[in-house]
């Protein structure tokens, strides 16, 4: 074969390979979405949202307790993680040169790499063991630790997008630095900070492993912070590995609700984030 | 109301911010401390031979972690083997081949894969991927590569291969998004220089993009490895959960994360709980070190 033809051939072969790999990545995505849509939508009805599970053998029943439980647990986690996370984000963006700042950055990076099941065990050891009961509190704390690095990182990035001349303008007007930070930098970015919070919430809402032995799950409706609490992911897990057809059907329904929730939140956050970055020209 | 000098007010905010930051750093240290403390009885009782013993038998209170270390390492490595080339290729496809609008859409779709909860991957894996592996992939591998010990023995659908496949799907977004941001850093004149010498596009990519990015790509792979090692739910649902060491990729196995997910809630002897915490500590250390490693490479890369 002519050398030039050979080089051209290699060139096209490579293009074909990149195309094939793109298809290989996107195919499972579409298959999962299609599977969840078809299987999930057919097992959804009003009862799914308004009823508690029926005992084994009886058909029907729903996942009201798990849906409400997930919302409760995620809000509990967010209530712990948001104030701490945003504060750290402010520290990292406003005092980025300090030594502590560098340590904190390293901490956040390492924390986001901890497997979520290990975080679950940590929450079990510090909450479930002393209180001697699986509890929503333990689940909330585990989710908060998962959300924390995401919130810190995104708030740092977003606050750094505030141009320095705005800070200087505030200082030039004679405002003390804390007022500049709180009322100009932070207040002006509140809606943007939401994107990081939404991303963190969407991540936490899908977590199963850390809830297995913290919030644990139950089959009834409970709002007590010191009692076990059901959540969608754990309920899906329990149902998916059960031998009952009706439960497996419900697992698909749960997966449908969870996916719609998480993908919507993700898309919204990414849309806003993309807009912010476009505006700043980054 | 009492008035503070604005300098004092500033100092006050600064100390509040600092204290909270210290709390977060303390939290990481606290996690390490609590894990060591909980694992201590098993560390003392089993010592380092814990890592090398094959027997995991809660009934007789004997614990050896080798099958789980084996399962974790093998599933993660197989997943990396599949995911790395695909991730690099898709990153190149997005940055070099696609027009801007399309590249945005495709990269958004790839990132959506990362947003899918692990439990949904597991559910899909049980009802679609595992039967598919059993009916199509395993017989195919057996007829064509059956002479290798890797592809011998019966396939039940669930097992190392299926778990690795789901893991590879899950870590592609991690690796490809880092590769993409590295490829975007390559200066345009470097590519132009390569074209000017008469390269084809493939040769340009090889010379001007891949070879200067190798260290960055390796850090992306290590970060992907970190994710694969700690991934729990999808693997737990697809690996078969039996602590055996077998040379066949079709056979069931268990990983450190999956055994924790399966046994932690019912563990009742103190040594069992403590041995699971020992595993958690090990997993924590491995992911911790791999993240630290990836971070240092990225740092030296962005400086250079």
pLDDT tens digits, B56-68: 988 888 899 999 9
State the pLDDT at residue B174: 94
Q: Tell me the C-alpha distance between B81 and B121, whole Å.
A: 20
Residue of B nearest to A177 (CA): B10
Which residue range forms the structural domain that includes residue B78?
Answer: 6-303
A199 vs B296: which has the higher pLDDT: A199
Q: Tell me the C-alpha distance between B287 and B225, whole Å.
A: 8
Collapsing DSSP to helix, strand or coil, B158 comes out as: strand
Which candidate from A18, A101, A177 shows the least CB-CB separation from B10?
A: A177
Given CB atoms, is B265 within the 8 Å cutoff of chain A?
Answer: yes
Whether residues B202 and A266 touch (CB distance < 8 A) is answered with: no
Given CB atoms, is B73 within the 8 Å cutoff of chain A?
Answer: no
**Is residue A98 in some structural domain?**
yes
pLDDT band at residue A71 using 50, 70 and 90 as cut-offs:
very high
State the pLDDT at residue B303: 55
Q: What is the pLDDT of residues B82-115, one digit of tens each?
A: 999 999 999 999 999 999 889 989 999 998 999 9
pTM, whole model, 2 decimals? 0.93
Whether residues B120 and A32 touch (CB distance < 8 A) is answered with: yes
β-pairing, B62-63 with B56-57?
Answer: antiparallel
Number of residues written out for chain A: 282
Whether residues A115 and B119 touch (CB distance < 8 A) is answered with: no
pLDDT band at residue A280 using 50, 70 and 90 as cut-offs:
low
Residue % of chain A over a pLDDT of 70: 98
Residue A65 buriedness (CB in 10 A; 0-12 / 13-18 / 19+) = buried
Q: Average pLDDT for residues B197-224, to the nearest whole number? A: 92
Per CB-CB distance under 8 Å, the chain A contacts of B14 are 95
**Is residue B69 in some structural domain?**
yes
Q: What is the pLDDT of residues A198-231, one digit of tens each?
A: 999 999 999 999 999 898 888 788 788 888 899 9
**Is residue B104 in some structural domain?**
yes
pLDDT above 50: residue B1: no
Per CB-CB distance under 8 Å, the chain B contacts of A87 are 16-17, 20-21
Q: Which two tokens stand for residue B289?
A: 């070190």
Our CA dihedral for A79, A82, A280, A98, rounded to 10 degrees, sits at 170
Q: Tell me the C-alpha distance between A176 and A166, whole Å.
A: 14
CA distances from B44 to B33, B36, B37, B182 (A): 16, 11, 11, 45
Q: Which two tokens stand for residue A41?
A: 């939508």
Instruction: Say if CB B280 and CB B267 are below 8 A apart.
Output: no
Q: What is the pLDDT of residues B164-194, one digit of tens each?
A: 999 999 999 999 999 999 999 899 999 999 9
Q: Which two tokens stand for residue A177?
A: 């630095």
**Is residue A264 in some structural domain?**
yes
Q: What is the pLDDT of residues B8-32, one digit of tens each?
A: 888 888 899 999 999 999 999 999 9
Residue % of chain A over a pLDDT of 90: 59
**Is residue A159 in some structural domain?**
yes
Chains A and B form CB pairs within 8 A to the count of 245
Q: What is the pLDDT of residues B120-159, one digit of tens each?
A: 999 999 999 999 999 999 889 988 888 888 888 888 889 9
Q: Which two tokens stand for residue B25?
A: 């750093």
**Is residue B1 in some structural domain?**
no
CA distances from A218 to A53, A83, B259 (A): 10, 30, 22
Q: Tell me the C-alpha distance between B188 and A135, whole Å.
A: 56
Whether residues A106 and B295 touch (CB distance < 8 A) is answered with: yes
**Is residue A119 in some structural domain?**
yes
Q: Which two tokens stand for residue A70?
A: 């997930």
Number of residues written out for chain B: 304
Q: What is the pLDDT of residues A175-188, one digit of tens each?
A: 888 888 888 899 88
The DSSP secondary-structure symbol of B240 reads: B
Mutate to test the interface with A, among B17, B120, B207 (most CBs of A within 10 A): B120
Q: Average pLDDT for residues B201-206, to the nearest whole number? A: 93
**Is residue A259 in some structural domain?**
yes
pLDDT above 70: residue A155: yes
**Is residue A151 in some structural domain?**
yes
**Is residue A208 in some structural domain?**
yes
Mean pLDDT of chain A: 90
Q: Which two tokens stand for residue B213?
A: 């990015």
How many Cα atoms are found within 13 Å in the side-chain-facing hemisphere of A5? 2
Q: Which two tokens stand for residue B40?
A: 């201590």
Which residue range forms the structural domain that includes residue A112?
Answer: 62-280
Number of separate domains in chain A: 1
Q: Which of residues 211-240 of B touch A (CB under 8 A)?
A: 223, 226, 229-233, 237
Q: What is the pLDDT of residues B248-286, one digit of tens each?
A: 899 999 999 999 999 988 888 899 999 999 999 999 999
Q: Tell me the C-alpha distance between B152 and B157, whole Å.
A: 14
Q: At A263, phi and psi to the nearest 5? A: -65, -40
Whether residues B121 and A32 touch (CB distance < 8 A) is answered with: yes
**Is residue B106 in some structural domain?**
yes
Q: Which two tokens stand for residue A158?
A: 């977003």
State the pLDDT at residue B2: 55
* CATH number where B167 lies: 1.10.3720.10
Number of separate domains in chain B: 1
Whether residues B284 and A206 touch (CB distance < 8 A) is answered with: no
State the pLDDT at residue A56: 72
Instruction: Say if CB B234 and CB B121 are below 8 A apart.
Output: yes
**Is residue A122 in some structural domain?**
yes
Mean pLDDT of chain B: 91
State the pLDDT at residue A60: 73
Q: Average pLDDT for residues A155-178, to the nearest whole number? A: 90
State the pLDDT at residue A226: 84
How many Cα atoms are found within 13 Å in the side-chain-facing hemisphere of B184? 11
* CATH number where A274 lies: 1.10.3720.10
């Amino acid at each position: 074969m002519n050398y030039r033809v050979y080089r051209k051939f290699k060139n096209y072969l490579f293009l074909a390979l990149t195309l094939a790999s793109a298809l290989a990545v996107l195919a499972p995505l579409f298959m999962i979405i299609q599977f969840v849509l078809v299987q999930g939508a057919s097992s959804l009805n009003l009862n799914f949202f308004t009823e508690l599970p029926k005992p084994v053998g009886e058909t029907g029943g729903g996942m009201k307790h798990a849906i409400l439980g997930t919302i409760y647990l995620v809000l509990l986690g967010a209530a712990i993680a948001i104030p701490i996370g945003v504060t750290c984000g402010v520290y990292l963006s406003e005092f980025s040169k300090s030594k502590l700042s560098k340590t904190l950055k390293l901490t956040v990076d390492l924390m986001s790499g901890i497997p979520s099941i290990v975080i679950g065990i940590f929450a079990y050891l510090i909450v479930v063991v002393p209180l001697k009961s699986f509890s929503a509190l333990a689940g909330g704390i585990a989710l908060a630790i998962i959300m924390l690095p995401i919130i810190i990182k995104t708030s740092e990035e977003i606050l750094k997008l505030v141009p320095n001349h705005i800070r200087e303008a505030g200082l030039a007007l004679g405002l003390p630095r804390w007022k500049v930070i709180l009322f100009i930098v932070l207040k002006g970015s509140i809606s943007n900070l939401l994107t990081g919070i939404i991303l963190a919430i969407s991540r936490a809402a899908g977590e199963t492993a850390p809830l297995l032995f913290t919030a644990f799950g139950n089959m009834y409706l409970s709002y007590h912070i010191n009692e076990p609490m059901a959540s969608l992911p754990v309920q899906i897990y329990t149902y998916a590995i059960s031998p009952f057809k009706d439960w497996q059907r419900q697992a698909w329904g749960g997966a449908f609700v969870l996916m719609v929730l998480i993908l919507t939140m993700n898309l919204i956050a990414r849309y806003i984030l993309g807009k912010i970055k476009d505006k700043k020209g980054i | 109301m009492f008035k503070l000098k604005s300098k004092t007010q500033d100092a006050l905010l600064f100390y509040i911010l600092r204290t909270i930051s210290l709390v977060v750093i303390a939290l990481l240290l606290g996690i390490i401390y609590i894990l060591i403390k909980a694992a201590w009885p098993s560390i003392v009782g089993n010592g380092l031979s814990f890592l090398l013993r094959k027997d995991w038998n809660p009934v007789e209170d004997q614990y050896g972690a080798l099958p789980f270390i084996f399962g974790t390492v093998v599933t993660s490595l197989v997943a990396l083997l599949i995911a790395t080339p695909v991730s690099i290729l898709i990153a190149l496809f997005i940055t070099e081949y696609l027009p801007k609008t399309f590249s945005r859409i495709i990269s958004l779709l790839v990132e959506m894969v990362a947003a899918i909860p692990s439990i949904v991957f597991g559910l899909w894996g049980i009802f679609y991927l595992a039967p598919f592996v059993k009916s199509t992939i395993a017989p195919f591998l057996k007829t064509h590569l059956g002479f290798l010990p890797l592809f011998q023995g019966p396939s039940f659908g669930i097992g190392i291969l299926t778990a690795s496949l789901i893991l590879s799907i899950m870590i592609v977004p991690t690796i490809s998004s880092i590769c993409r941001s590295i490829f975007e850093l390559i200066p345009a004149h470097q590519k132009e220089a390569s074209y000017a010498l008469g390269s084809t596009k493939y040769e340009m990519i090889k010379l001007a993009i891949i070879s200067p990015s190798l260290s960055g790509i390796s850090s992306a792979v290590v970060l992907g490895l970190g994710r694969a090692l700690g991934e729990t739910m999808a693997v737990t649902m697809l690996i078969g959960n039996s602590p055996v060491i077998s040379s066949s990729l079709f056979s069931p196995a268990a990983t450190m994360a999956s055994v924790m997910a399966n046994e932690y809630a019912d563990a009742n002897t103190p040594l069992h709980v403590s041995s699971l915490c020992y595993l958690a500590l090990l997993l924590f250390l491995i992911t911790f070190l791999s993240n630290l490693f990836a971070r240092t490479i990225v740092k030296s890369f962005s400086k250079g």
